[in-house]
Structure 1
Amino acid sequence: MPTKVSNALPIAIIGGLFFIFGFVTWLNGSLIPFLQIACELNHMEAYLVTMAFYIAYTVFALPMAAILKRTGYKNGMMLGLLLMAVGALIFIPAAEFRTYSIFLIALFVLASGLTILQTAANPYIVLLGDKDKAAMRISIMGFLNKGAGFLAPLVFTALVLSDMSQFSEAYLATLSPEAKAQALSELSSRLVMPYIIMAIVLSALAALIKFSPLPELEAESDSDDEAQDSWAILGHPKLIFGVFALFFYVGVEVVAGDTIGLFGKEMGVANFGQLTAYTMAFMMLGYVLGMICIPRVISQENALVASALLGLVLTTLLLSADTTSYSVWNSLLAWTGITALPNVVLYVAALGLANALVWPAIWPMALDGLGKLTSIGSALLIMSISGGAIMPMVYGALVESSGNSQSSYWIMLPCYLVILWYAVYGHKIARWSKSKAIAKHV
């Protein structure tokens, strides 16, 4: 087992990868309102961004796990970065031709590269040290991930969304079809240079990983018969239930992070392109609390319970809030000097705090005791990221059918209830048979 000192550099390198995860992933929150304008989309069409991005995790998680068995964690991470670079390059023809289908292909390829990175990096950080401190390590990774998610919309706004007044619906309606098409093409072309830079950076990082001193880690040993039979993974209910809990968690996380831009735009928030940064800021606060408190003050299990309960409370407040009131911001955050948000938008952002510790708590709980089945278990957990593809689409369908973006957030209530059930009961189920159903706490 590596010493704590020798783990410092590998943790720093993996931390850099989690920063990349966050930057690329949380650009979607700004891309959605941007592409809605540039490609003239409705809600359902706009949220195809999340569908194309997150469905890649379901399609490729198991194949990527097979690749990792051949390449090892280190080479797998390098391949993931190169595939992401290819996806970034596909944005260039998508932007030049202002073709939404090519944008979706680019997002799918980009997310496919992220899939192999996530499949390698998440179990890697779990195995890189003491098991009871795994949630704390993942909290550190999550802080870096959401820190990048905080910066991404700000950078995107500065590079791409400046001077958006000339692309307002009212202004575009006054233009001739030819002038409108020219204006939207100019807007779309703003994506070219940022994604060229992204492709260069990702390729450089792939070379860095190739020649870095990352050690290859082995999962804890298990019986040879079980390790050779991938179907044995189905005999671990705490993992299977963890997959479902993560599915709904990623769903609410993406709804909170990626719908807030369009929602804020409808609520009249001027800086709607930056609103994902608000959600990420609350998530960063949650990760800081996780790093400080887990496991010294609160256990992983209790942190998950608290997160689910907070999510239920905030969602209830969101559903009942007055859309014209700024009272919460004026009472608690006026001192920041930042442009105020209406309560209803602030509650969506604050869900970031409720969501922050769910991922780092579920991973070690779900992977506990898998031994050499850890890689296949990790792949199944990565597949649950498809919740980020499905739940925003469900939300978009509710908005289109009801015409009310605020009331459509009710879809998050059952999601948090599933997470609460896993935190209280589901993670304790060690075997399907009743006699061994509840694992004893040591």
Structure 2
Amino acid sequence: MKKNNYLLPLALVFSLFFLWAISSNLLPTMIRQLMKTCELNAFEASFTETAYWLAYFIFPIPIAMFMKRYSYKSGIIFGLLLAACGGFLFFPAAILKEYWAYLCIFFVIATGMCFLETAANPYVTALGDQETAPRRLNLAQSFNGLGAFISAMFLSKLVLSGNHYTRDTLPADFSGGWEGYIQMETDSMKLPYLILGLLLVVIAIVFVFSKLPKIKEGDTVEGTNEKEGKLINFSVLKRSHLRWGVIAQFFYNGGQTAINSLFLVYCCTYAGFEENTATTFFGLYMLAFLSGRWIGTLLMIKFRPQDMLLVYALVNVALCGVIVCCGGTVGLYAMLAVSFFMSIMYPTQFSLALKGLGSNTKSGSAFLVMAIVGNACLPQLTAYIMQLNQNIYYIAYIIPMICFLFCAYYGWKGYKIVD
């Protein structure tokens, strides 16, 4: 397929960035909601993130092997349908009302989304000029920011009722008593995932009937019979720019999710906001992220991606320092600024790490997606520190501050191809 015919395939793949953003950015809302429906504290509820992101550690290598044997398209369609099945499982889960059931559902949804992410990121970098790959991936990730904004500003309001009762504070005349309250809060979680599941099925059908160009990586074309080649190449980690990219992605993802996942808890528990106000701030937080993606993509026309990564990461180190020192409302506004400067980090690191990998691109992509396992441990560490230090809860944000230092190093030296 000629380069000028890449527009439709890119548009379809861009939609995937939008979809998995909706899924992953519903997690902070679900953490807040599960604290109510399952009577959990913030640390216990944070394992929602663990269940979701653990799939990103387990499955990228099998997924990369699957797509190398077949194609990106096959992986995308399977992932869309698997994630849709996970969304529909919220209906039986609403009957069970057990925390373990929700953890299993998030794991299933994440596995499907892992197919999309393992396919879409390298596909966008390969579909066009390699020199403009970071800018192209940032443009694609802008749709990720749009999905995050819609999830935070609108879908969160479908879930959170604004009520947060305990067994002791529930009004005596509440219809159905405590069981009625829990059932009402549980049922509110179904609609967003029904919408997401139906959307995933529709997009899967569109992909089935669409023709996507097969990508040549090095001397290999995807989907060809490669009996003599490796389905996954671990030796690619000998490339230092990829290895440092995996490390940077681990810390970036962990730092970002530590802030994201606890944002609503921070607003409601520590900044003293009502849930409706907190979800509005969460929407503004994601709007800052979306704005950062669009502005960052434009700035990359003039500035080198690695230079922008270095500057943005250092700014976020300073902003996290403000949160650690001040907390409260000042810390909240600092988080809005952090969101803006986080925006370009993931796609920029991803595209720089894949540069020059050739036929090992799928393997490199698998390891980079596995690095998202940072989401499954660093947010929990942050929540644990917050839980232990209720009076100086804001000290927990030293964890994301350290994470952004690793991103800064990658933008300074780690990105360089030296082997």
TM-score scaled by structure 1? 0.87
One-letter amino acid matched to 2:369: I
Which residue of structure 2 aligns with residue 73 of structure 1? Answer: 72
One-letter amino acid matched to 1:269: F
Identity %: 28
Q: 1:344-389 deviations in whole A, cap 9, x for unaligned?
A: 1111222111211111211121111111111010000000111111
CA contact (8 A) 1:95 1:103 kept: no
Which residue of structure 2 aligns with residue 145 of structure 1? Answer: 144
Which residue of structure 1 aligns with residue 115 of structure 2? Answer: 116
Which residue of structure 2 aligns with residue 435 of structure 1? Answer: none
One of 382, 402, 405 as aligned partner of 1:414: 402
- Would the alpha carbon gap of residues 172 and 218 (structure 1) be closer, same or farther in structure 2, given more than 3 Å must change? farther
- Would the alpha carbon gap of residues 176 and 244 (structure 1) be closer, same or farther in structure 2, given more than 3 Å must change? farther
Q: 1:107-147 deviations in whole A, cap 9, x for unaligned?
A: 00000001011000000000011112111111111111111
CA contact (8 A) 2:157 2:279 kept: no
RMSD: 2.2
Q: How far has the Cα of 1:176 moved from its partner?
A: 10
Q: What pairs up with 1:328-407 in 2 under 5 angstroms?
A: 342-403=329-390, 404-407=392-395
One of 291, 295, 320 as aligned partner of 2:325: 320
Query: Distance in 2 between the 1:172 and 1:221 partners?
Result: 67
- Would the alpha carbon gap of residues 227 and 175 (structure 1) be closer, same or farther in structure 2, given more than 3 Å must change? farther
Query: Distance in 2 between the 1:356 and 1:201 partners?
Result: 25
Query: Distance in 2 between the 1:112 and 1:175 partners?
Result: 43
Query: Distance in 2 between the 1:428 and 1:411 partners?
Result: 26
Query: Distance in 2 between the 1:253 and 1:35 partners?
Result: 21
CA contact (8 A) 2:26 2:156 kept: no
- Would the alpha carbon gap of residues 200 and 225 (structure 1) be closer, same or farther in structure 2, given more than 3 Å must change? closer
- Would the alpha carbon gap of residues 257 and 275 (structure 1) be closer, same or farther in structure 2, given more than 3 Å must change? farther
Q: How far has the Cα of 1:213 moved from its partner?
A: 2.3
- Would the alpha carbon gap of residues 427 and 225 (structure 1) be closer, same or farther in structure 2, given more than 3 Å must change? farther
Which residue of structure 2 aligns with residue 103 of structure 1? Answer: 102
Which residue of structure 2 aligns with residue 335 of structure 1? Answer: none
Which residue of structure 2 aligns with residue 253 of structure 1? Answer: 256
Query: Distance in 1 between the 2:228 and 2:246 partners?
Result: 20
Q: What pairs up with 1:225-244 in 2 under 5 angstroms?
A: 228=230, 230-244=233-247
Which residue of structure 2 aligns with residue 301 of structure 1? Answer: 306
Query: Distance in 2 between the 1:244 and 1:176 partners?
Result: 54
3-state secondary structure, aligned to 1:208: helix
Which residue of structure 1 aligns with residue 223 of structure 2? Answer: none
- Would the alpha carbon gap of residues 278 and 226 (structure 1) be closer, same or farther in structure 2, given more than 3 Å must change? farther
One of 176, 197, 200 as aligned partner of 1:199: 197
One of 216, 240, 249 as aligned partner of 1:218: 216
- Would the alpha carbon gap of residues 226 and 372 (structure 1) be closer, same or farther in structure 2, given more than 3 Å must change? farther
Gaps of 5+ in 1: 324-341, 432-442
- Would the alpha carbon gap of residues 275 and 102 (structure 1) be closer, same or farther in structure 2, given more than 3 Å must change? farther
Which residue of structure 2 aligns with residue 280 of structure 1? Answer: 286
- Would the alpha carbon gap of residues 273 and 101 (structure 1) be closer, same or farther in structure 2, given more than 3 Å must change? farther
TM-score scaled by structure 2? 0.92
